[in-house]
Structure 1
Amino acid sequence: EARTALEPVVCRIAAERIGEDKLLELKDSVDRMQQSVETADIDTFLETNKQFHDIIAWSTGNALFGYMTDALMRITGGTVMGVDHPAALRKTTLKAHVSIYEALSNHDTDLSEDRMRDHIKEYARYAERKFPEVLSQVLPWNQALGG
C-alpha cells in the first residue's frame, strides 16, 4: 500500500523535473537490468531494480521522496522479506521499467504515473499470491535495513 500510494505520484513529479543526466542514468539501469535478465544474474537484477526506483525518486528534486523510496525499496524489494524473483517476474519487471522509462523520457506525467502504478500493483499482486505469509509479517526495523 505504501509503495502504491507513493511511487506513482513520485513518478509523475519526476516526469516534470527529470533532466537528461538522470534519464541517461535511468537508461543505463534499464540496459543493465536487461543484461541481468538475459544472463540470469539475480544480484545485478536486484541492484538495478532498486537503482531504477531511486533515480526516479531523486529526480523529483525532493530529498524526502528519495529517502522514502530508498527505505521502501530496502524493505519491500523482496530479499529482506524473503520474496524471490523468478525469471518470469524479472522479465515482467524489465518490461515495466522500459515502459516507465519511455514515459519519463517524453515527460508524460499522466503516462508515467499510470505505468508506475501498474508496475507496483502488479508486483503487489505477485507477492500477495505467492507469499501471503510474508506480507503479513511484522519486520523488525534493524532487519528491514539489513542490520
Structure 2
Amino acid sequence: MNIQPVRKTSLSEYVVYQLKEMIIKREIKIGDRLPNERELSKLFEVSRTSVREALRVLELQGLLNRGNSGTYVQANFSKIIEESLTLQILLNDASYKDIQQTRIMLERELIRLATFRRSKDHLQNIKENIKKMERAVREKNNDLYIEADISFHNEIAVAANNSVLLFLYNSISELISKIQKSVSFDDEGVNTSLKYHKSIYQALEDQNLSQAEDQLVNHLIDVDNRLHKK
C-alpha cells in the first residue's frame, strides 16, 4: 500500500485555508475589508503571529491588499487559478504539440458554440480585429497583426458564452500568444491568414457551423505548418 504520512498543518496554514474557502464561497467578496489582526486572532482562536503569517501568504498570492487603511480582498480568484494552471503546464514541460492539440480541441468547441450564441456586439468586435489585421498588412506591421490575431480568437472564446470553456481557454492563452509570436509570416503567409480570418467571420455571421469549424481548424493547421518550417 502506498500510504502517505499525515502532515501536521500549522495554525497559519489553517487560517489561509479558511480565508480562501470564504473567498471561494463568496462569504468574503472582492473589495471587502477584513477585521484587524487582533479581531481575526480571536475569531480563529490563534495567535496574532499566526494570523499575520497567513495574511502575508495571501498577500503574496495576490488575494489581499494590505495597507495603512486595512486589509482588503483585491483579486479575482478565478484569475489566480488560471495563472496557477498556466504555471503547472509550464512546469510540466508541456510540448508545443500538446499545447496546439489542446488549442484545436478548445477552439473547435468554442466556435461551435459561438456560431449560434454570438451577438451583434460580438460580431462587431471580431470584425474590428479584421480591420486591424488589414491595416497591419498595409503598414507591414507584424506586431499589430499578431495583436489583432490573438484578440480575434479571444473574442470568439467570449462569444461562445461558456464560462468554463472560457476559463480553460484563458488558462492557455498566454502560451498560445507565445506560439503566435514565434510564427514567421511572409507576405503570402499573412494574406493566407487574413483570408482564413475573413472566412471564419463570414461563417459566424451566416451561422454556418460546418464552414466556421472547417475554416478555423484549417487556419490552425496552417499556423502549425508554418511554425514547423522555421
Structure-2-length-normalised TM-score? 0.52
In structure 2, the residue matched to 1:139 is none
Q: Deviations over 1:87-107 (max 9, x none)?
A: 332221111100000000011
Q: Alignment partner of 1:113: what SS?
A: helix
Q: Alignment partner of 2:229: what SS?
A: helix
In structure 2, the residue matched to 1:47 is 147
Matched, 1:113 2:216: no
Equivalent pair of 2:157/2:169 in contact (CA under 8 Å):
yes
- Pick from 20, 24, 30 the counterpart of residue 124 of structure 2: 24
Q: 1:82 to 1:26 in 2, by over 3 A?
A: closer
| Pairing 1:99-110 to 2, within 5 Å after superposition | 99-110=199-210
In structure 1, the residue matched to 2:109 is 9
Mind listing any 5+ residue stretches in structure 2 that lack a counterpart?
A: 1-100
Quote the offset at 1:66 in angstroms. Answer: 2.5
Quote the offset at 1:114 in angstroms. Answer: 1.1
| Pairing 1:88-103 to 2, within 5 Å after superposition | 88-103=188-203
**What is the count of residue pairs matched by the alignment?**
130
Distance 1:103 1:60 in 2: 14
Quote the offset at 1:78 in angstroms. Answer: 4.2
Runs of 4+ in 1 over 4 A off after TM superposition: 78-81
Q: 1:81 to 1:55 in 2, by over 3 A?
A: closer
RMSD across aligned positions (CA): 1.9
Letter in 2 for 1:45: Y
More helix by share: 1
Structure-1-length-normalised TM-score? 0.79
Q: Highest Rg: 1 or 2?
A: 2
Distance 1:115 1:27 in 2: 16
Distance 1:18 1:36 in 2: 26
- Larger RCO, structures 1/2 (Cα 8 Å, 6+ apart): 1
Distance 2:226 2:102 in 1: 16
